[in-house]
Each structure stands twice: as structure tokens, then as C-alpha cells.
A and B are shown apart, each in its own frame.
Chain A
Amino acid sequence: MKFHSFLIKYGEIGIKGKNRYMFEDALVRQIRYALKDVDGTFAVRKTHGRVYVDCEGEYDQEDAADALSRVFGIVGICPVVRLANAGFDQLKEDIIAYVAERYPEKNQTFKVESRRSNKHYPLNSMEINCALGEAILEAFPQMRVDVHTPDILLNVEIREEVYVYSEIIPGPGGMPVGTNGSAMLLLSGGIDSPVAGYMIAKRGVALEATYFHAPPYTSERAKEKVVDLAKLVARYAGPIRLHVVNFTDIQLYIYEKCPHEELTIIMRRYMMKIAEHFARKDGCLGLITGESIGQVASQTMQSLAATNAVCSLPVYRPLIGFDKREIVEISQKIDTYETSIQPFEDCCTIFVAKHPVTRPDLERIEKSERNLEEQIEELVKTAVETTEVIEIR
């Protein structure tokens, strides 16, 4: 069946009072972004407190619905057939044709729900419901009316044109990206961090990302994989600025100067510092990590406290209470899992100790870090200056 428009239903943004325009504008922007690579020409418009996507000419219906179902802020997408408003008799015929084509089995229950913006229309909403219901019953005697839990809820809206829709494709919910500032995601090649980014973006936060690589210990392919992950997250979150930091020299210096079992925790502290530097530079309001309590040595409560201590921006950890299984489920849903599990070594595992500290003591860690005083500032500065920025669009 050929649909002419999508009616976009949005949830929370409808209740945000005076900010409503801001939210709707963001939604429109995100919808346009999501549709940019779909075959077809689309016009996004706000009218009567609603958002419509009008599809002009030939377009890929499936891809368009798919792209829209990734736009945060949308709770439902209704494919709409638009008809010329040519009198009630014509409308009856058109509705019968719609039902005939859309529901070839004709054995379902239905209910008609109509609205009219033109209050001079010869019939009121109640009368339209009845007359259209009668016409359908007459045309398809196997169909039954059920006003409480119909299989088909047939919406008919009479405006300058007539809009008919009877299906809601669920959207992802959340709020339009860009309505809640931006945050810096610490993106590794693993399963967790892309999911963390997705979850924060879902609340309307635009993303930037920082990735630490350690050539020659990590390969060009590991970096490619992270770029691929960023692209997958960007399908939901919109454009992402990805900072690729060469972490090798810092890592080797820590390895040389600090107790081996503290390597990971000290490394992570420097990663947070560098990510925070870029976050502040670009006006991000927080950091995002994929940490979950107790998952690995560097994610115990003590370790989290020790890494947290180096930054002053809030650190958001949306997966903090999730089990691995739950995280995997989301990563599969958002299609990052397959990419995440490609086997390339990341910089956290190359020199990892057999028994890293699981209950680091902040004072001791800070004492160990004093061994780094001679060169670390210079190394961090170099790492920041040589960072490669990749714009993911």
C-alpha cells in the first residue's frame, strides 16, 4: 500500500510547556537528519501541534519507517494515506478502498475514530464514525465492530485534505537529541560503551566521543572498528565528533614507572582527564562511560571512585546497574553487538596485570602517580595536540 505521509507521535516533549517549540524544532531537525540517506524526497512540517513527514513521489517506505523508528522523541509512527476532501460520498468510497487494500483478510474487528477541523462539515465526528462504520460493514459483511479493543483502529481526520491511518509503528521514545546539551562518551571497541552512548542520547543529549588507541599495540583495524561503532551510534544520536587519542607513550610511561597492578586504574584516570579536557573545550556538560559495578577490576566501587576523583564534570554511567546479559540485549537491539565482538585488542588489555588491584586506595594511587611527575604533563600535552578528530555524520 502506498502511504503519502507519516504522522509522528511524540511523547514527553508534548508536556514541556513553553519549551515545547524548542523540543519540536529539535525533533524536526533529527527527523530530517535520519531521513537524509533514505531514497526519496521528504518534507517535514509542524502543523496543528503535530509533526508530519510528507513523502513526495517515489520513496522507500520500509527504509523511511526504519529510519524514523530510530529518532528519539518519537513514540509512534503512523503511515498516512492522504485523500482529497471531495465530499462525504467520495470519502465513503475511499475508506472502503483503503480497507479493501490494507486488510485483505477482512476478518478483523474495527472501530472508526474521526476528527474534523472544519466545524462546518455536514456531519459531526460521531455521525462520521457511524456512517463510515456502516459503509464498511455493508461492503465487508465478515468484519465486526468492536469499540473497546478493535483489531483495527481506523483514524480519519478531515482537514483541507483527509488523513487516513490505522497503524502505529513504535518509536524509540526518549527526547530529541540536542534538547539536553551534549556529553563526551568514552568509546572503546567493546560492547558496553556504544550502549551507554545510546542510552544517554536517548534522553536528548548530543554526543561526542573519545577513543584511546595504542599503536603499534593496537591495530588500524581496531580504530576502524571504533569508527564503525560511532557510525552505528550516530544513526540514533546524530553527528558525533570522535577524538582519537594516541595513548601509547602515556601507557608505556605508566607501565615503566608505576606498580604493575595499578596500571589499569592509573591509565583510566588519565583517560578521564584527557576526555574531560576535550569535553570542556567543546562545551560538553558531562562524561559518559559504559561502566557497570563489578564487571571488571577497574569497575569495582573503589575503582570507580578512584577514576571518578580526577574529573570535575559529572560522569554519567547509564549501565551502572546492568548485568552483561542486559547490556548485550540492548547492543543487539541497536545493532552494535556484531561490530563490538570483532576480536581486536584494545589498549586496556595489552599490558594488563594478572591480578590488577580491585580495591585501589586513592592515596596510594596518587602516591604512585607522583612517579610520573617528570614527564607526564608533557606526554599528555602531546597526546592532546596529536589527537585526530573524525567527524561522524
Chain B
Amino acid sequence: MAEGALSGLTVLDLSENISGPYCTKLLADYGATVIKIEKPIIGDDSRHASNLDQFCRGEPACSPTSGRHTGLPLRDTLNNPDIEKNGLFLLLNTSKKSITLNIDDKSGRDIFKRLVKHADIIVENFKPGTMKNLGIDYAALAKLKSGIIMASISYFGQTGPHRDWNGCDLVAQAMGGLMRLTGDPDREPLKLPLSQAEYQAGLNAAVAILCAVFYRDATGEGQYIDVSVQEAVASILEGAVSTYSYSGTVLNRTGARHRSKCPAALMKAKNGYVHMESSAYWDHFATMVEAPQLLQPHLASILRYRHTNEVEADIRPWVESRTADEIFETGQQWRMPVAKVMGVEELDVDPQYESRKYFQEIDHLPAGTIKYPGAPFKMSETPADINRVPLLGEHNDEIYIDTLKLSRDEMGKLRERNVI
């Protein structure tokens, strides 16, 4: 295997569901060794849960999301055939190793502490206080391994009056200020699909961890990182906070329109929808959409946003009489930033993704060969190397016997007690 940008870094990943796993997926796909520590028998909750109905191939869906301490009843999961082929889990856990370990058990925690000595980075997304209660918070782990970096992801962060509040993606999008800005102005605010708040937190944690690694490599000092999902969301509100602070304006939802550009809106085409927008060459745009009335002085001006309804009405006949494909093609010939609204089901056969070999076929025995979304960026020297997800506990022998030098006998005892 070619060397990755992050080769040589070892990550102990206690995180579950989406935020932490997306962070460690990025680390793993770009070369870090990520040891995913899963609950014995049950595994990561995302082996069972998803945002989508009937997600696992073939079999009916498993139970909804469950918290760490309200894990699924064992009898339901012991014979559950699906834990190796939940699409959400497959998406988020590529290139990792999986071991099982019950850190609620004292001997499990002792093993965890031994593993820490082999690690550079620890990632967790339990409720605040969980790691401390288990005696494995940053203060304790920093004593075991100098230079250790630990990142905790939680909905509201490790401090503050809402620290112990219950969160989920919906609540984080609401309290992060994103939801209020999305949707029709005359309907209820709308959350972005598929747990976007969780991904934002995971991305923040990934960047913060690499900043900490850079600092550690220069100084030898590790540190603790506190990522709040709410703050991750509140960080990407574009100008909403400064606009309020500058002029007292509370920005509202704008439906299918862009907040300030005109025209810049999703519009209904002959089939499907398109995004219509003009380049700086307004006269070209007016010619393209066959609407010379757009060249009237009040519209051929950056003040045309006062007349958004009129502008869109002038464009509409052209848009409605063409297919989304035609509009994308014609628009691009005119060098206009227009686009077609595509569904995820159209992506893997899209010529651009195909040409760049974006989707990646990965063969994984339980789930079969599936096309996965590929690397989010291409690095010339150290490209991503995306490999299949691990089976639950697949790397127990490798980590416990080869790395920690546990005997088969010790392993057997731990297994009997469901520690492993």
C-alpha cells in the first residue's frame, strides 16, 4: 500500500453513529490507522440505525438510533443478520479496523488504557462526562501517553449550561441557527437532509485534530479538543450573524431563491428543476433566455433584485419549455452558472463523476459489491486509499494478540465475560 498523508498516525476511535465516524473515516481514508472500538455483539449503533427507511439490503430495517447506555436488547441483535450491511455504517467506516471491547467493564478499560500507549489520537462522541465517569478522560489518558491528542464531539460541548442537554441532528440544526434560514418563508423552518449537523461536527473535529497533530509534531505537546455540534453549525451561517450585528437585520428563509442574488433560484423546467443564474454578462443572459425585456434599465442593474418576481416571470417561459438537460447544456455554452437538480440516483452514471472515477466499487462480503462515494479531494502525492469496512471485531486477534501480546487464554476469558 502506498504511503498516505496520515500514515503512521494511530487513532483509537470510540465514536459511534455519524459525527465521530465521519471524522475518523477521513483520517483512515488518507492513511491513518484507525482502530474502531465497538461494543461487543452489538457494535456501533450505526450498524442498526439510519435516516432512511429499510436501509439494509434485502432485510427489513433494524431499530432506530439508540444511545450508548440504552443499547438494543441482546436477544434482538444476537441473530440480527444486518449489522454487517447497513449502508450508513458502510459509508462511514471505510479503511478502519474493528475491535470489540466493553469499556463499561473494568478489565475492558484496562485494555483500553494499554491501547492508548500505542495511539496518537483518541476520538469519542459520548455524552459529556461519560469518559470522566469511566476514569478515562483526557486528564487520565494524558498521564498514560505523553503527546496524546483527544477529541470529544458532543451536541452542546463539554461546558456550559446546556452541556447535558439531549441532542440530535434536528435539534442541533435548530439551535445552531441553520434551520431558521432554510425553507419557505411562510412555512415552518426546514432542516437539511441526512444529519448534516453531525457531518459538520465531524469535519471540524478532523481539521482540529490535524492542527493538533501539526503542533504536537513541532513541540511534542498533545491536547484536548472540544467540538460542539451546535457550534459547528453556528460557524457556517455565512453572513447571518454579522448581518444581524451590523444592521440589526434578522435574515429569514428564502425558499427556492438565493438570499441576495437575482436571479438565482431553483425553477421548474419541462421536466424536473434547474438552478437559474446569470453571469456578470446580463446581456448574454437576456439573449439566452430570449427575454429582451430584461435589458430595460430597471432590470439591467444590480438593483434588479427589487424586481425579482418580474425577472423570474420573464425567464420562466424559456425555462418551462426546455428540459433540465437542455438548460444545463445551453447555459454552459453561454458560460452561465446554471445547473440541473439531480437526484442521488443519477450521480454514479453522471459523465463527470465517471470521468474522474469518483464513485468507487468496493467488494465487501456481507453486503456485496457497492459503489461508494469516493475521495472528497485528490492529492497528487498521497491520494486517498479507500478500503472496505471491517466486520465487527474483525481485528481482535491482530490488535489484542499481535499488538498488545495478550495470550489466547486471556482472550478466551475476556470473551467469556463479553469484554471482547
A interacts with B:
no
